[in-house]
């Protein structure tokens, strides 16, 4: 079976940045399971995995525009403190999730003033070229329910 849209794929991976620092890894955990072709992984990595079979190993080097994007000054915004539910949580370095119609972003507080907090909505890995060391551990058909939800259930996936 080859990796293609709507297959459930399990991978072991190690993610490093340009300096060789490990940012994330499945080592010591169960493999990461995702539903291929549904935006579960960054686009550049899904493209590299397309067509691969169980047991394949690959090194994928993904440019920022196919990973977590290019850092944008427009994503650094001043937000009135009155918009926060609990201003005691608003400290430099604090991170929280912001949901818009399409996606969940991580916002990082970069400054706190009298009336406003400055938050950076750029992904923490924006501008990073990512190096993935990947091994395809398993490929299976998705269940009907997984296809409806657009994500994987059970081992390595969502639990709900």
Rule CB under 5 A: is residue 71 a binding residue for Zn ion? no
Rule CB under 5 A: is residue 149 a binding residue for Zn ion? yes
H-helix or E-strand containing 132?
A: strand 130-141
Beta bridge partners of 29: none
Rule CB under 5 A: is residue 54 a binding residue for Zn ion? no
Query: Per CB under 5 A, which region of 77-85, 100-108, 121-129, 149-157 contacts Zn ion?
Result: 149-157
Give residue number: closest CB to Zn ion. Answer: 149
At its nearest, how many Å lie between Zn ion and the CB of residue 34? 13
Give 55 or 154: the residue with its C-beta nearer to Zn ion. Answer: 154
Asked if residues 11 and 157 have their Cβ atoms less than 8 Å apart, the reply is: no
State the CB neighbour count (10 A cutoff) for residue 46. Answer: 20
Residues with Cβ within 8 Å of residue 74, at least 6 apart in sequence: none
Query: Per CB under 5 A, which region of 46-54, 62-70, 121-129, 145-153 contacts Zn ion?
Result: 145-153
What would the two tokens of residue 81 be?
């403190």
φ/ψ of residue 24, rounded to 5: -165, 155
Give 71 or 149: the residue with its C-beta nearer to Zn ion. Answer: 149
Interface residue list for Zn ion (CB under 5 A): 149
């Amino acid at each position: 079976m080859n990796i293609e849209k709507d297959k459930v794929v399990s991978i072991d991976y190690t993610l490093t940045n340009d300096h060789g620092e490990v940012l994330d890894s499945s080592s010591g955990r169960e493999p990461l399971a995702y539903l291929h072709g549904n935006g579960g992984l960054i686009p550049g990595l899904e493209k590299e995995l397309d067509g691969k079979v169980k047991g394949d190993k690959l090194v994928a080097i993904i440019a920022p525009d196919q990973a977590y994007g290019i850092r944008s000054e427009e994503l650094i915004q001043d937000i009135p403190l009155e918009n926060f539910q609990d201003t005691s949580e608003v400290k430099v370095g604090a991170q929280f999730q912001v949901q818009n119609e399409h996606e969940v972003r991580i916002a990082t507080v970069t400054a706190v003033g009298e009336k406003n907090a400055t938050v950076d909505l750029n992904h923490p890995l924006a501008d990073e070229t990512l190096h993935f060391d990947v091994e395809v551990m398993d490929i299976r058909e998705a269940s009907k329910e997984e296809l409806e939800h657009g994500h994987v259930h059970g081992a390595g996936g969502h639990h709900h």
